[in-house]
Amino acid sequence: MGALRSILVRDLTIAMRRKADVLTVLFFFIIVVSLFPLGIGPEADTLRTIAPGVMWVAALLASMLSLGRLFYNDYMDGTLEQMLIAPQPLGLLVMGKIIAHWLLSGVPLVLITPLLGLQYDLSADALLVLVAALLLGTPILSFLGAIGAALTLGLRGGGALVSLLVLPLYIPVLVFGAGAVDATVSGLGAEAHLALLGAGLLLSLVLAPWATAAALRIAFE
């Protein structure tokens, strides 16, 4: 557990000293979300309908964008190989990296979403569900994305490649995340969607660090 804490402290401290990385992803999210009304038109009805999908797709892309630096810096400066030969299970260290990644790339998106929701004329109920869904869904994106980031570590064209690997795996998160908001708006209630997202989160929490650790070992050997 000490190792998990060390990795969290380390990654968060580094991020605090290099805020640009965090802010770039956040602004990417904001800009993508703001582009859609320009492409589609400003009618409030249309915007309300597409809002959940737009926000989720933007969150998917933003999370994807930040995957590049999940392991790459550690790979380049040699800290990753030290993690591979640390006396802690690699899965545990990877879990720390992923949690830090989510805190730095997922949580800011969740926090800014209510503000962006106003642009799309979302009701308070819908916003609340959207935030809840993002809160449950964005960590899944980090967990699944970590597998892709580890598989493509150090490869040429890694950024585009990782999106080919990971985006299809993100589809259930998109479906249940955006569906949760739709369900609230149409009066069906979002409990089922949120429960499924929660189940997905548990599943990825258990399986993804292990798969990521295996992928990292493959990348090194």
Work out whether 61 is an interface residue with other proteins (CB under 8 A). no
Residue type, 27: F
Q: How far is the CB of 140 from other proteins (least distance, A)?
A: 11
CB 106: neighbour CB atoms within 10 A?
Answer: 24
Select the residue interacting with other proteins from 5, 43, 189, 195 (CB under 8 A). 5
**Which residues does 182 contact at the CB level (< 8 Å), separation at least 6?**
52
- Any idea of the CA torsion for 5, 10, 12, 14, to the nearest 10 degrees? 180
Binding mask of the shown chain, residues 15 to 44, with x at each position contacting other proteins by CB under 8 A:
--xx--------------------------
Select the residue interacting with other proteins from 141, 151, 181, 194 (CB under 8 A). 151
**Which residues does 155 contact at the CB level (< 8 Å), separation at least 6?**
161
Binding mask of the shown chain, residues 180 to 219, with x at each position contacting other proteins by CB under 8 A:
--xx----------------x------x---x--xx--xx
Nearer to other proteins, 111 or 218 (CB): 218
Nearer to other proteins, 128 or 169 (CB): 169
Query: Please, are residues 121 and 47 in contact by the beta-carbon 8 Å criterion?
Result: yes
Select the residue interacting with other proteins from 22, 86, 112, 135 (CB under 8 A). 86
**Which residues does 141 contact at the CB level (< 8 Å), separation at least 6?**
59, 60, 63, 106, 170, 173
- Burial of 168 (C-beta count, 10 Å sphere; 0-12/13-18/19+): exposed
Output phi, psi for 182, to 5 deg.
Answer: -55, -45
Residue 126, H or E segment: helix 124-151
Q: How far is the CB of 42 from other proteins (least distance, A)?
A: 21
**Locate tokens 């503000």: which residue?**
115
Nearer to other proteins, 84 or 112 (CB): 84
Select the residue interacting with other proteins from 103, 112, 175, 205 (CB under 8 A). 175
Select the residue interacting with other proteins from 43, 44, 89, 191 (CB under 8 A). 89
Residues that bind other proteins (CB under 8 A): 2-3, 5-7, 9-10, 13-14, 17-18, 76-79, 81-89, 93, 147, 151-152, 155-157, 161, 164-165, 167-169, 171-172, 175-176, 179, 182-183, 200, 207, 211, 214-215, 218-221
